[in-house]
Amino acid sequence: MTNDEVGDLVDRYRVVRSHTEELAAPFSAEDQTVQSMPDVSPMKWHRAHTTWFFETFVLGMADESHVPVDPTFSTLFNSYYVAVGPRYERAARGVISRPGSAEVGEYRRRVDEAMLALLAADDDPAIAEVTILGLNHEQQHQELMAMDIKHVLSRNPLVNRPGVIDWSPAPTSQESLQAFEGGLCQLGVDPATPFSFDNEGPQHQIFVAPFSLADRLVTNRRYLAFIDDGGYERPDLWLSDGWALAQAQGWEAPLYWERGASGWEEFTLLGRGGLDLERPVAHVSYYEADAFARWAEARLPTEAEWEVAVRALGATDDERHGTLHPTGVGDDHFGSLWQWTQSAYAPYPGFAPAAGAVGEYNGKFMINNQVLRGSACVTPPGHSRPSYRNFFNPGSRWMFSGIRLASGAS
Amino acid sequence: MTNDEVGDLVDRYRVVRSHTEELAAPFSAEDQTVQSMPDVSPMKWHRAHTTWFFETFVLGMADESHVPVDPTFSTLFNSYYVAVGPRYERAARGVISRPGSAEVGEYRRRVDEAMLALLAADDDPAIAEVTILGLNHEQQHQELMAMDIKHVLSRNPLVNRPGVIDWSPAPTSQESLQAFEGGLCQLGVDPATPFSFDNEGPQHQIFVAPFSLADRLVTNRRYLAFIDDGGYERPDLWLSDGWALAQAQGWEAPLYWERGASGWEEFTLLGRGGLDLERPVAHVSYYEADAFARWAEARLPTEAEWEVAVRALGATDDERHGTLHPTGVGDDHFGSLWQWTQSAYAPYPGFAPAAGAVGEYNGKFMINNQVLRGSACVTPPGHSRPSYRNFFNPGSRWMFSGIRLASGAS
Amino acid sequence: MTNDEVGDLVDRYRVVRSHTEELAAPFSAEDQTVQSMPDVSPMKWHRAHTTWFFETFVLGMADESHVPVDPTFSTLFNSYYVAVGPRYERAARGVISRPGSAEVGEYRRRVDEAMLALLAADDDPAIAEVTILGLNHEQQHQELMAMDIKHVLSRNPLVNRPGVIDWSPAPTSQESLQAFEGGLCQLGVDPATPFSFDNEGPQHQIFVAPFSLADRLVTNRRYLAFIDDGGYERPDLWLSDGWALAQAQGWEAPLYWERGASGWEEFTLLGRGGLDLERPVAHVSYYEADAFARWAEARLPTEAEWEVAVRALGATDDERHGTLHPTGVGDDHFGSLWQWTQSAYAPYPGFAPAAGAVGEYNGKFMINNQVLRGSACVTPPGHSRPSYRNFFNPGSRWMFSGIRLASGAS
Amino acid sequence: MTNDEVGDLVDRYRVVRSHTEELAAPFSAEDQTVQSMPDVSPMKWHRAHTTWFFETFVLGMADESHVPVDPTFSTLFNSYYVAVGPRYERAARGVISRPGSAEVGEYRRRVDEAMLALLAADDDPAIAEVTILGLNHEQQHQELMAMDIKHVLSRNPLVNRPGVIDWSPAPTSQESLQAFEGGLCQLGVDPATPFSFDNEGPQHQIFVAPFSLADRLVTNRRYLAFIDDGGYERPDLWLSDGWALAQAQGWEAPLYWERGASGWEEFTLLGRGGLDLERPVAHVSYYEADAFARWAEARLPTEAEWEVAVRALGATDDERHGTLHPTGVGDDHFGSLWQWTQSAYAPYPGFAPAAGAVGEYNGKFMINNQVLRGSACVTPPGHSRPSYRNFFNPGSRWMFSGIRLASGAS
């Protein structure tokens, strides 16, 4: 690496790592300890786990004699890297009171000190590569921190005064469909892209039939019409597993909606308030998105359609994200809400995971998940691409997920 | 319909309906009552449910004033047709002792009588169409009856003398890979095919990269090498959900294998006996098939690759199924074991389910399932096609599932 | 034993064993296979288990070289006798289709033949003793057969025509309280009693304060007043565990009650019919009995009070059981419904279980159960005594249990 | 009340309330937030709940217009007082991050201020009575705080340095049995006792047969002999429910024992260390205590025997608790470990719960629990009496429970 590249990486390291602590700052030690469901991790766990990643995969690689800050952290803050050693039971992360929030802060400081020293002293490209992976990994956890703390605080009857953070998608308006030609297209990340996750490639050919894609996300107003038309009471609109889950959990609306005295209310980190009908509907599962699309006589796009259209539109995750273009075309492909696709999360042709423990990253989740595309209002700046593949179980609702409709041969 | 067509349909009706009773004949009233896990249905339930299908969708359609043989049967023997009315809880089918096995036989006779009278008297194509659907539906349940009774009897310590039925795939030999060119191909059922399920179409274009596909299924011998190499103890070989399930259920081998005094044994309806190393490995989940393929440095095929290859080979489900061709090329694409593909079960572009209750048939299961292709030794004769799409949850093992490897860009 | 005694025992053996088969005769092979909840056993299991008892503990004791009719039966039909060997998982008894109902009948015939030969040939008092225990054991299972088949058939929507058996308590009338003096009393079985279970002794002294006991069981009419007064909606009336269970299972009335078009209905083996207000309320848990008593400003008796009162009254289980005396005093202590007491099931002072496997009989259940006294309309003739201690978990409802109130210092 | 009595109550209020905060002081905000199993409550919950008791039952009674410090606290910190209003789901107490530990401290200060003002100003005996009840209630929670935080920290791999608190029973030595005559005795609290819980009375007559009671608790040494003799592998020693639970949870030793490199270790709040063989065995369930007693050819005492013996011995909970008398007689009836009795927790004859919500206190738990007598090393000073009845589910192990043997007619 050149000195400039080293300098850039050091800067980027500082920025990303600081952003995590800024995100956590408004939340108390107690807020950061709670795990409100197995999918959620405590905020201090995220702060420690992302640090463990650098300690294990960068400091440990650069210096095999690296003495861990605390050997128990290897067990506590390993997540799914089975190859690296024993892990603490995921669903019991909320039982771990120690290290506390302040001690995690100290752990971060010590690892940062070592990392910054290493990056300044060493221009080994392998170190740079894993560091960059670690920073992207930390950005993913920044979004998880937002999703998770929202869920944690939503379980508490005191949440009508939780904070001053507004993580909501920007208002939008009624969508209309735009036609795309399809044909033999390229799918997957351009090899020239500076960084991407392994699951975004290899780039490959795919045949896409002509299709139409909505220019904006579905609004709360439209979704309310679905509810009012019995959307949650008509099994014919639902996938079988979705209907079973909705019945078992008593779904009547998206997560965080509640019936108030004068109509539907929504919980955000600003408190519980009236539902804003102009904002995109958020916190819906794949099952709800799919049922809504069927009710609307449309369907969800495939991930290929989504990527083809976004490339054609030249939509990017710039500063205008989540807003309307002067042209009147919605530009909420990025920065508003992740968009469910009808594509199961699967390897692209020729996919090969990275070697070693880091290679556990993505491939092992390629079952029972659906792909979401775009990015959301809680996605860190710069952490999105047309080829980015997010994925969640079809029943999950605590992420910032929305609906973009499609039609034509799917 | 012409008289000949009517005659053919009457004959086919007799053949399919008799085959069900022949399958059930060796099993006692008690055998036919048991539900050994929620996925399994009692054999007498299958016999009644398939009959209910004809009574509800054919007799009821032909004559709206049709008086049901027994009104409670509508609740008891409806399966997933939510639109038709209340259903009896699936997991509690084993609690239903009445109607008994003989009474179900009587129900079948009475509905057959009415059906045969109707088919002879009425040449309404709509009636023929639903009747043909009903017969294909009944053939699906014939295979389920075999899968289910095998599971029921496997739970009983007395099974070392369960019967005289040999439902096992034919022996095979070491596979080798055959190359296919791929390119822009057609996927899905040819519109000229006399009958197909809605999920097999519409036929559509798809781009397939060059690939190789094994000419034979993986044998027990090969699979044993995987086990002996620690296949069930190495998380790096497994999908994350698969590893979790295997640990939770203590998997050490395929379903129905047991460690005996002198090595592995396998339970079949002929009793418990030594494992035949030359037979294809059966009763594996998708997770096991996928882990085995990773271990073998190969992968599972996509369903498109499978169909393209089978059409190129001209493989068909003829009488030689499950055996080797004189040419030395395996012909176990059909009639031996269903073959897991890496394709999630999803609608083809332009898929639209049939109208009405019958339309609940397939579309509503298009999530959380993987496609299997081919057919098995328990599949009724004539109930397979190159376009046929079977599907199961990736953790299921009680169906007759096997492994065909692929390689090349997937 | 004298010849007469041997003859008596042979006769008694024939009578008790035949009675089991008479009880089972109206029920089909399918009815006898079903296990509708873990507490229930299939009827053919009861028929086989009671036979296994004689084969194992009598034939096996008399002749150590006795060859079991079928070695697998030892696993299948052992219940809780851990000392005797492996047992088949209790909750999975409904999965066992083989041996079938007819084969169990054959098993019974073969063991009876051997038993009758043994009893005629051998006057060993030890054999007589275990045989008598086996007959009392079989009578207990006769009652379980009635309880269990009622539960099995209640789960089936076809039950409005289940059979011709009337197992219901006789009608009664409004109870009144009778005073008893108490003082230093004897509790437990008189040593002169020909047979009793180990848990009925040793006889011992106990101090009982003055108390009153109702002369009749609580009727459906009275219990309905409790329901109408919000009995199932007032947590203050309930024990904490009872309230939790009632909420979790949605109790609104005793088991087998259902709201019909014109009021409460009750399921019996005669079918579903209007609730008979004059009959004693049946199929209540301890929690319901206790809550009712609190609502009625009374309490449940202790088992000591019950036994002291019954001895004072001279109530016996004669042919008039479950009816009213000419004197107007209720005589439903026996033969109508078991009566919950507030006494936890515990060993009497000096209790020692019998030696060997037979000693597992009662002592090991002396926790988490409440004592019920008396007997019920489904209790076999001659199978009750003032000292008899029945016991069930406080949440159980499928046995024939009723309520007798008490008051005064408890 | 006289001025002196008011002064005494004010002093006592200060002492008890301060003790709670002293107990909590060593534990971080995170430690105080965790709920490690449904039976455990977070430490800050205990601190708030005991405060809520005074606010609701004393301040609210004294002044009906009392404005709660925070209305949401009524939901969050109500425990089982169904009559007082909605409650927050018990098993989800660990999800409540707010109010935090410091805010709970503030809540305590504000309620204390109001309470001290009220007690100084008002000599209403009803207020004094409920205040005294509240103080005893708080002392019960002080013991729960110790039990609960021990369990919380035991789940954390970092616990080898948890703190500086030594909550362990004092060493003891081999027990011997002392004979007691029994006869007609008085059971229950002497009416002259200044304070007792409702469940300790009414005092009543009971007949007790002659018996012997051990003068000391069972040691780890003795218990280890039981383990080494296969105590956890012999179902004949166990109650049926106990055996099932032990198998389901994989019990091999008391809670907090772990096999270390050089033998058994035990977790305490001083860290994990070698098992002290001279200390009484702690953290055993009723099932283990009962199985041990059977193995030792003894039994557990009834609560009547325990109380009769303790009164005869004149044992009291003085400063020597948990130690040996100069006479050589053990005096560990109090202050070492609670002692399981074979008595189910049930109302004494004539028991009537207090009126109103406070009356929910004890009576509603009189099912499915066994009585423990004495007190433990974590019981607050002055919070024990010969008539005190503690109770837990027979499967519970996280409280400081031990074993005292008995023999003779039980």
Question: How do residues C271-305 score in pLDDT, each as one tens digit?
Answer: 888 999 999 999 999 999 999 999 999 999 999 99
Instruction: Please report residues of B whose CB lies closer than 8 A to that of A395.
Output: none
Chain B neighbours among C 85-124 (CB < 8 Å)? Answer: 88, 92, 94-101
Tell me the pLDDT of chain B (410 aa) as tens digits.
677 777 799 999 999 999 999 999 999 999 999 999 999 999 999 999 999 999 999 999 899 889 999 988 888 888 766 555 566 788 889 999 999 999 999 999 999 999 999 999 878 899 999 999 999 999 999 999 999 999 999 988 766 555 667 788 888 878 899 999 999 999 999 999 989 999 999 999 999 999 999 999 999 999 999 999 999 999 999 999 999 999 999 999 999 999 988 899 999 888 888 999 999 999 999 999 999 999 999 999 999 999 999 999 987 665 455 555 545 555 789 999 999 999 999 999 999 877 666 665 678 999 999 999 999 999 998 899 999 999 999 999 999 999 999 998 65
DSSP letters for C59-70: IHHH-TTPPPS-
Instruction: Please report residues of D whose CB lies closer than 8 A to that of A33.
Output: 29-30, 33-34, 97
Structure tokens at D143: 């013991």
- Give the pairing type, strands B401-402 and B338-344: parallel
Please judge whether A368 and B241 are an interchain contact, meaning their C-beta atoms are less than 8 angstroms apart: yes
Please judge whether D409 and C236 are an interchain contact, meaning their C-beta atoms are less than 8 angstroms apart: no
Please choose, from the candidates B41, B148, B48, the residue with its C-alpha nearest in 3D space to the C-alpha of residue B105: B48
- Cα C2 to Cα B105, C7, C127, distances in angstroms: 55, 9, 14
Residues 6+ apart with CB under 8 A from C218: C175, C280, C281, C292, C296, C402, C403, C404, C405
Query: Which pLDDT band, with edges at 50, 70 and 90, does A362 fall under?
Result: confident
Q: Is A152 on the interface with D (CB under 8 A)?
A: yes
Tell me the average pLDDT of chain D.
90
Q: What is the DSSP letter of D257?
A: E
How many CB atoms sit inside 10 A of residue B166's CB? 9
Cα A396–A397–A402 angle (5° rounding)?
A: 115
Mean pLDDT of D319-325: 50
The string of pLDDT tens digits covering residues D268-318 is 888 888 999 999 999 999 999 999 999 999 999 999 999 999 999 987 665
Say which of B28, B44, B75 has its CB closest to residue C157. Answer: B75
The string of pLDDT tens digits covering residues A131-158 is 999 999 999 999 999 999 999 999 887 6
Cis omega (within 30 of 0) for bond into C42? no
Say which of D207, D347, D365 has its CB closest to residue C240. Answer: D365
Please judge whether D236 and C347 are an interchain contact, meaning their C-beta atoms are less than 8 angstroms apart: no
> For residue C89, with 0-12 CB atoms within 10 Å meaning exposed, 13-18 middle and 19 or more buried, which class applies?
exposed
Mean pLDDT of D176-194: 94
Answer yes or no: is pLDDT of C6 > 80.
no
Please name the residue ranges forming H helices in A71-219.
73-76, 101-121, 125-154
Q: What is the pLDDT of residue A269?
A: 85
The string of pLDDT tens digits covering residues B141-180 is 999 999 999 999 998 876 655 566 778 888 887 889 999 9
CA distance C317 to chain D (A): 29
Answer yes or no: is pLDDT of C57 > 60.
yes
Q: Is C368 on the interface with D (CB under 8 A)?
A: yes
CA distance D142 to chain A (A): 20
Instruction: Please report residues of A whose CB lies closer than 8 A to that of D85.
Output: none
Please judge whether C349 and D204 are an interchain contact, meaning their C-beta atoms are less than 8 angstroms apart: no
- By C-alpha distance, the chain B residue nearest A286 is B367
Alpha carbons C112 and C133: distance in angstroms, whole number: 16
Alpha carbons B329 and D194: distance in angstroms, whole number: 95
Please choose, from the candidates D367, D336, D390, D406, the residue with its C-alpha nearest in 3D space to the C-alpha of residue D136: D390
Say which of A31, A97, A157 has its CB closest to residue D75. Answer: A157
CA distance B41 to chain A (A): 18
Alpha carbons B191 and B387: distance in angstroms, whole number: 11
Q: Is C339 on the interface with D (CB under 8 A)?
A: no
Structure tokens at A187: 């799918």
Answer yes or no: is pLDDT of A326 > 50.
no
How many CB atoms sit inside 10 A of residue C62's CB? 19
Query: Which pLDDT band, with edges at 50, 70 and 90, does D366 fall under?
Result: very high
Domains of chain C (ranges, CATH numbers): 3-154 (1.20.120), 177-407 (3.90.1580.10)
| b/e sequence C229-257, b meaning 16+ C-beta within 10 Å | eebbebbbbbbbbbbebbeeeebebbbbb
- For the entire predicted model, the pTM comes to 0.93
- At CB < 8 A and 24+ separation, what contacts does C89-94 make? C90/C38, C91/C35, C91/C38, C92/B155, C92/C35, C93/C35, C93/C41, C93/C42, C93/C45, C94/B34, C94/B94, C94/C33, C94/C34, C94/C35, C94/C36, C94/C42
CA distance A70 to chain D (A): 10
Please judge whether B205 and A205 are an interchain contact, meaning their C-beta atoms are less than 8 angstroms apart: no
Structure tokens at C191: 């040593």
Phi-psi region of B183 (alpha: psi -120 to 50; beta: other; left: phi over 0): left
- By C-alpha distance, the chain D residue nearest A156 is D96
Q: What is the pLDDT of residue A13?
A: 97
Let me know how many helices (H) and strands (E) chain D has, helices first: 10, 14
**Longest C-alpha distance within chain D, in Å?**
65
The string of pLDDT tens digits covering residues D57-69 is 999 989 988 999 9
- By C-alpha distance, the chain A residue nearest D86 is A157
CA torsion angle D238 D243 D246 D249 (round to 10): -170
- By C-alpha distance, the chain B residue nearest A305 is B349
ipTM of the prediction? 0.93
Chains B and C touch (3+ CB pairs under 8 A): yes
Chain C neighbours among D 182-201 (CB < 8 Å)? Answer: 184
Answer yes or no: is pLDDT of A127 > 70.
yes
Alpha carbons C56 and C78: distance in angstroms, whole number: 9
> For residue C167, with 0-12 CB atoms within 10 Å meaning exposed, 13-18 middle and 19 or more buried, which class applies?
middle
Structure tokens at B362: 């397939």
CA distance C202 to chain B (A): 41
Mean pLDDT of C32-60: 96
Cα of A324 vs its chain's centroid, Å: 22
Q: Is C264 on the interface with B (CB under 8 A)?
A: no
Order of strands, sheet of A401-402, starting from the edge strand that comes earlier in the sequence: A390-392, A370-373, A338-344, A401-402
The string of pLDDT tens digits covering residues D117-126 is 999 987 889 9
Order of strands, sheet of C401-402, starting from the edge strand that comes earlier in the sequence: C390-392, C370-373, C338-344, C401-402
Query: Residue C263: CA atoms inside 13 Å, Cβ hemisphere, count?
Result: 10
Q: What is the pLDDT of residue A158?
A: 66
Instruction: Please report residues of B whose CB lies closer than 8 A to that of A352.
Output: none
- Cα A58 to Cα A63, A132, C80, distances in angstroms: 8, 10, 58
Residues 6+ apart with CB under 8 A from D349: C209, C409, C410, D202, D204
The string of pLDDT tens digits covering residues C89-113 is 888 899 999 999 999 999 999 999 9
